[in-house]
Structure formats: structure tokens, C-alpha cells
Structure 1
Amino acid sequence: MMAYDRSNLPDDVKLGSGWGSAGDPEWDGLTKRFRPVFARIREDAVKRELGRGLPHDEIGWLRETGFTAMRVPQEAGGLGVSLVNFFALLIDLSEADSNITQALRAHFGFVEHIRTEAPPARQARWFDRLLRGDVVGAGWSELGNAKQAAFSAELRQTAEGWRLNGSKFYTTGTLFSDWVHVGASDSEGNGVSVVVSRHAPGVEVLDDWNGMGQRLTASGTTHFRDVPVEDCEIVRERAPFGYSEAFFQLVHLATLAGIGRAAASDTASILRIRKRSYSNATTAMAPEDPQLLQVVGRVRAHAYAAGAIVHHAARALDKAAAIGNDQDPALIAEAEIEIWQAQSVVSQLIIDATASLFDALGASATLRDAGLDRYWRNARTISSHNPRVYKDRIIGDFAVNGRIPQGQWRIGQA
């Protein structure tokens, strides 16, 4: 069989990105709307990282474009973006700056909570706020001696009305938000969720996150001291939406896939213009060195595979979420299994890719001003959330014994 001859292709032929697309008719419109702001965000990503410049302005740009409200249903005035395209856009945003995706993770989870759990009056109130650009942070995780099934943060009725007291850690994105969605215990020890204004008296948000990665996510401490709570913002029923655990984990995986794409693109760009080479290299010019090209190809292939896996898992989650308020537990469990399987592979793909890129670029790539170390640090930090070692066991238990995941996890003392 004769090989296909590409010799007649014009010299200026342009191919696609090679990352693939979401494969949906609405995708072109979404990318036309949002990719210019993603490009603007990426321009100063290294400068922000080196100077610890928190992305207040950048999140503001996303508000202005409607990005933060893209999952608000069309009948409520929003874009009603499908979960498949939503996660594809998160990959693109993460390629620009993964800090911002993680900073908005709690916000997007709150949007899903309102879509699926809120009664009509509450939906109308919150859709209006979201469409005007309001952002919601979170206060759920606690340090100290809190039990797994309870919160030390307390909601109490006083003569002046409801008041919230307590401290939270991992309040990711709250520093950039207008509202905070908080988990607490009532006077009888029952779990409740409340929403309070981020600017209410008694709310103190600290930028004390000192993790090695995702340094600009404002993932530190928030204190609540006698914070007033409106009765209409207290939810005593189940606070998380049915597919919340799978949703939040898939946000992490989309973030990792975007980190991989950014690392692959930067590695290729740097090698393309590199002049220095070793005397024992296979070619005089580094961009033509087949060994270095192999490294770049492997980094890019890892990033591509991660994105493809996220896309496939998003389809499973979209199917589970489409049921609406009458969510099918079996479909949700099935989506969770797919996403736990994806977590095991995607995290390792990107950790490996972001570590091996230095093999193509040499010691100069380790200089702090290059900012390339942030890719591995960020990937390693994200992969430490919701530990994948437990997910491997859960997957194995399902495969061998048919045991379904137990559902929403909690952190604390047993």
C-alpha cells in the first residue's frame, strides 16, 4: 500500500492545537467568548507566581465575561453550559493559571448546589446574584479535634438573630468572594449549611496558605465571630448535591490536565529557541535532537491523555447530573467509579510529565525566574487532595467484590 503523500501540502498550512475539542456545537461559541480572557490571564502567570500577586483582577475579568455563571440554566438567563463543555473550559483556564480554577472550585460547586437542591425562591435569588457576577467561597474543612461526622463551627439562635461562630481552613477562594458557604452544627449537633456575606461583621479571611503549590488560591483560614445569618440562608436538609464528590474531584482532574497542557506548551516553546547544547548530544541544534524531542512528545502525550480521560469522565457525570432533583444513586455511583479510576491515572500522568520536562531543557530550566517548577508543585499539591491511594483501593474493591463507594467523605478524628 502506498503511503499517503503530504509533500504537496502548502508550507503555511495550519493544523489544530492537537488537543482535540469538546465535540459539541456550542463549543466554538464558548471558546470565542472565553479564550481571549484565558490568554490575558496567562500573560502574567509567572509574574504573579514569583511576586505572590493574588488574582483579584483576573477573577474579575472572568466575572465580567459570565464565566463564573456559565452553569446557570438558560431558562434563568444563564448560558446553561453542559458539564462536558464546562470541564473542557476548566482545562483551558487551568492551562492559563491553575490557581484560578482551584480558587473558583467551591464557587462552581455552590452553583451546582443551587441548581439541584434549592427550592424555586432560593434559586431565583441566587441565580440573580450569580448572573450579576457574585462569587461564592467555602468554609467546610476544619483543623483540630473535630469529629468526622460533626463541625466545631456553631450556628446558634440569639436575641439578635442567628449567629455563626467558628474557624475554617482550606477556605479556598474565599478571599476573592462575595459570599461564603459554610458547614456548621446547630444546637442539637445536626449538620447545617449557611451562606453569609464575605464582608459581614465578624468575617475575617486570612491569606495564610503556605503550601508548596497552588500558592495563589487563598486556601487558608477564615474566622467567623458572631456573624449574622439570615434565616433564608440556612439549609437543614442535605447540603451537598448528590454528585458533589464526583464533581469536586473532576474539577481537580481538569485542573491537572490544564497544568499538563501548559507544561507541554512551555517545554516545546523553550526548546524551539534553545541555542545551547551538549557536546555529547545527537545533534548540534537542540530543537533537532531526537532524544529531547522524545521527552517533549512524552510530556505532550501525557497531557493529551489526561484531557481525554477528563472529557470521557465528564460525559459520565453529565449523564448522572441530567436526572436533576431525582438523581439516580446508581448513575452517580457509576460516575464516581469512572472518576476515581481517572484520578488514579491522571494524577500520575501529570506528576510524571511536569517532573520530566526538565530532561528536555536542562539546568537552566530550574532557575526560579523561569517559573517551570510551579507545574510540578501545583500538580503534586492538587494530587494530595482526596488521596488517590484510597481511591485505588475503592476501585479494586468494586472490581473484585462489586462494592459500591460509600458516598460523601468527611475529614476529622474518628
Structure 2
Amino acid sequence: MTSALDERTWRQRLQPLFSGFDLPLMLAVLVLAACGLTAMYSAGFDHGTRFVDHTRNMILAALILFGVAQVPPQRLMAFAVPLYTIGMVLLVATALFGVTRKGATRWLNIGVVIQPSEILKIATPLMLAWWFQRREGARRVRDFVGAALLLLAPAALIAKQPDLGTAILVFSAGFYVIFFAGLSWRLILPVVAIGATGLIALVLSEDSICQPGVDWKVLHEYQKNRVCTLLDPSKDPLGKGFHIIQGMIAIGSGGLWGKGFMKGTQTHLEFIPERTTDFIFAAYSEEFGLAGFLVLLFGFTFLILRGLAISFEAPTVFARLLAGAITLSFFTYAMVNMGMVSGILPVVGVPLPFVSYGGTAMVMLGLSLGMLMSIARSRRLMPS
């Protein structure tokens, strides 16, 4: 009798912690986590402790998700200005006193070596959502100009390190907030048209601008090489084009059903570089084929659609903008990673959420999903 009462008491204590959790969102997360663990076991079982570490990182991300989900959105908003300020101060300190590795100054030694740009992946959309919440009902052109400056400052500092991949992720997350805040299509469409024109001109003039000695001015030499390699990887198949060619071979050889779990030849004969990190999508596609890709695509699509639904139902401007930005950030991660591995986009070092190995990336993933879950719970737990 006593044990039954004790069990009921513990259940009553724990129930408020789990109430309001969005089950469809959790289903999407579980599908993607299962794909990630399966791919990591195959690609990383002979790669030290990658699978064990990846599992540990997922558990840590789950704990962070659960913890952050307990924090109401209005309390999350209180972290916006301090977190953004700390991130910007650390970025400036990195530019002045940072640790340089392989020509890039991306790290800062403060007793432990950290990469401040990771903070801005979540601090930037958080800050911009706070910015527009403060201007609810009275948004003017200067408010969007101020938001643009808040976005361009961290993106420019990160791009200068240079770290183009992280700069793209930070910029896109902030841009999504500005877009959902009401940025006019009349301002967006001309930029899209100019970008499309530039891409067409780049493809048509590839033979002349990719010659040795041609200075692109706005890009570093290694960034120019990445773009030129993307345009024609066959020009250097054993050098700069090796990554792209091997990735495309692995994806294409998977066929409809794939070669089978742990039977990927490109993967296990080590033709695929960075097979547990940036290029794990190639290893996954080789072993599970189009069918496996469709499962992964379903997981990401369901996650994005559910996240947008949570955004539309959010009770405040801050929550709506933050949820929308976090959701579309998952789209950016997946699109850029799959695109670069497939030879559609330049290789910029963007991980595939839930699948790629990486402790910091997994922590940020748990933090982002925790905020999204917090917003979902705030709607469900509101008094009727």
C-alpha cells in the first residue's frame, strides 16, 4: 500500500515536467536520432569511440532539451541581450587575441579553448526576436535597419575569421527572424534576382575566372578553390575535387535500397573523407539508398512543418519569431550539408543535424529544440 502511494506521489511530482510536450515534434526528433545513430554505428564503428561519443552527445542534447523546455519563453527573452553581448565581445576578442589554426582565427583561449561563433548561432535570432518584440505594433523602416546591423555585425566578424559555413548559418538564422517580422518581398526579390544572375554569370565564366592567378578580391584563395572545384571537380580529381567526386560516387552507388547496413565500400575502404562528420550523408546514402534518404527527408520535413505550426500558434511575437527562425535553421543545415555532399553547393563544413558527429553542434541542437519545445508548451499550458 505504501509503495503504491509513493509511486503515485513520484508520478504526480514528475507529471508537470512532462506536461505540454509536443508529441509530433518528439516523433520527428526520434526518427532523425534513429537515423543518426544507425549511420554513426556503421560509419564510425572502426573510427575510435565515435559511436559511443555520438550516443553520449545525443543523451546530453536530450537532457539540455528537457531542461530548456522547462523555461517559459518570457524568461528565455531575458537572456537575449546578455547572450548576444557576451558573444559579440568574445568575437571581437577572437579577432584581436584569437588562436589561429590552419590559417583561420576562430578560437579563443580563456583557460579553455572555445569557438565563440557557436554562441551566435542561437544568440543572434534570440536577440533579433527580442528586438522586434520590443517594437510590437510600431515597426518602422529604421527598426529593420537596426535589425540588419545587429545581424551583419556577427556575420561579418565570423566571415572574416574566415569561417564561411558558420557565417552562413548565423546570417540565415537572423534573416529568418527579420523575414517573419514582416520584411517586404519588394526588398527580397531584387536580391534573389541579383544572386541568380550572379550564379549564372559565374557558371558561364568558369573557364576564365578559375584560372591560376585570378584574384577574386572578396574571397580568400581557398574559398575561390572551393567554388571552382564545385563547378568542375574533374579538373583536380585527386586533389581539391576528391571530396565531391567520392561523395557523388557513394550517393549514386546506393541505388534504390542501398548496399546494406555496414556494407558500404566507399565508406569502409575510406574513400569518403570525413565520413563521420561533414560527409556522413554520403556514407548513409551508400548503405541505405534512396529509401533511406526518403526516411531522412521525411524526418526533416516533418520536423520543419511541425516547427512552423508551433511558430504560427505561439502566444507572443518573440516566441513566434524565435520558433520560426529555429525551425528554418534546421532546413538550412540539412539543405547546405546535403547540397555540398551531392556536389550542388561548395564544401563549407556544415554538419547534418542528428547525424554528423560533433559535441558542440549536438549541444546547440539540444538548446534549439529545447527552446522550440518551450514555446510549444507555453501555448498548451496557457489557461483556457
More helix per residue: 2
> Relative contact order (alpha carbons < 8 A, sep ≥ 6): 1 or 2 greater?
2
More strand per residue: 1
